[in-house]
Structure 1
């Protein structure tokens, strides 16, 4: 990394309130064919292709693979619980769980066996449950492992006059975040009741941590602060960004050329 670029990082971080006393330190670079990247709370990195997930544990210098039986370019991998990773294939409605050793830990759930609705999104929920976005009914629904519905929202089209297609959802601190490109982020409580809408405009991936939304804009990672309602540029890469993920200690950025760059967030 050249000196000018490193200075840019420090200045960018200083502008963002929650990063005022922190900077990004290059940690690792990996050449890959991945399309998506994830980081869990234990700082494991997951690289996702159409047919497999690669888990990198840099502390123990190990790499473990999990191969999909049926390739799916829209595969969803939720690592919110690193000991019970959710894998959902929208193409065949299969929901799997794998453990931290990347082996299946439960029987495969086929959603089309208990619903005929269109289900493009699924994510992990507390108490071994899961959320799904029901595109047919335009609502979120929560199920337990017995496939009993515990909660559901009102139709979401009542909350917005614009057409939308959610691309991502995640539960964080007992709230569910539904990310809608070019529209905003809808927040629901743990009972599926609508809380509020964050009017953040993004085209690709967005993530949430420490009261801030991080999102992709071209070849940059932007920050939207929910308290000041301001946008800041966190970092600019050489090439367009395909995906990213962030936790309390690391930022992983996957560029469209397959290059993964991991930054350590340091004081």
Structure 2
């Protein structure tokens, strides 16, 4: 059964402490709770995933707005918030992708079972609200519609690599699809599913696209890769983070999630760097 909860039904507290500063950063607030994953959209809304697989949306000030829980599907491998009005949750165990509106109410579903879709390991929404998927059974990237019909299909990606790639995360931005293969790096495709290039950056935990830059986490550090110059540089963080923590950036803010310590929201007030 699926449930939609509003923040008034739960006592998940956002802790507003006295301003804490460290170097060029100031701690804005901390969203208290135990989380296994999180992400941030372009409007600075935060989406957290709990150990019970409940997705919670918070506004930019940290106030809880909406909840979504799906006890049938397990843990989503993808929380795609590239379009804050149309979110995507991908559940690999059930080969299903569900779309949500801005209030985290279900608005659609892609059933990924079928003769042409056998082992989907990653998915993301296209700009046209179709679905990009990677099928590990035949190493093909596909753009499909809501009926599962393929609109675009890549070449067999195993032909490009010594080791067959397994894509774990994808994002679509400005006519390109960026795909993470943790063992080798980031693969870039054009909007027709054709292989463009590979960025040899192995060991990436997760990545974000930001104004022609890729922001990615490796172990306990964040890095920025300029897609024009292909130069990589570290991103300054407000504090040292543990290996298991997740760090992300959005505009002038840095978000740090330690599993049982909540999500810290830091504002960068030094020299302008990455802006998303």
What TM bracket, shorter-length normalisation? 0.7 to 0.9
Partner of 1:46: 47
Write the deviation string for residues 174-232 of structure 1: whole angstroms up to 9, x where unpaired.
21001111311000111111111112233411222123222223332223333152332
Task: Work out the number of aligned pairs and report it.
Answer: 249
Partner of 1:159: 160
Partner of 2:208: 207
TM-score normalised by the chain length of structure 1? 0.83
Q: 139-148 vs 89-98, which deviates more?
A: 139-148
Matching of residue 219 in structure 1 with residue 188 in structure 2: no
**Shift in Å at residue 45 of structure 1?**
0.3
Conserved 8 A contact 1:43-1:249: no
Conserved 8 A contact 1:240-1:256: no
Write the deviation string for residues 114-139 of structure 1: whole angstroms up to 9, x where unpaired.
54511111111011211000100101
CA distance in 1, matches of 2:154, 2:261: 38
CA distance in 2, matches of 1:184, 1:42: 28
Matching of residue 251 in structure 1 with residue 254 in structure 2: yes
Partner of 2:199: 198
Write the deviation string for residues 211-265 of structure 1: whole angstroms up to 9, x where unpaired.
3222223332223333152332422524234333333343322124443112234
Conserved 8 A contact 2:39-2:48: yes
CA distance in 1, matches of 2:26, 2:115: 48
Partner of 1:239: 242
Partner of 1:18: none
Conserved 8 A contact 1:35-1:243: no
TM-score normalised by the chain length of structure 2? 0.81
**Shift in Å at residue 151 of structure 1?**
0.3
In the TM superposition, 1:97-136 aligns within 5 A as 97-106=99-108, 108-113=109-114, 115-136=116-137
Aligned-pair Cα RMSD in Å = 2.4
Partner of 1:260: 263
Conserved 8 A contact 1:46-1:56: yes
Q: Which runs of 5+ in 2 are unaligned?
A: 1-18
CA distance in 1, matches of 2:98, 2:76: 15
**Shift in Å at residue 161 of structure 1?**
1.2
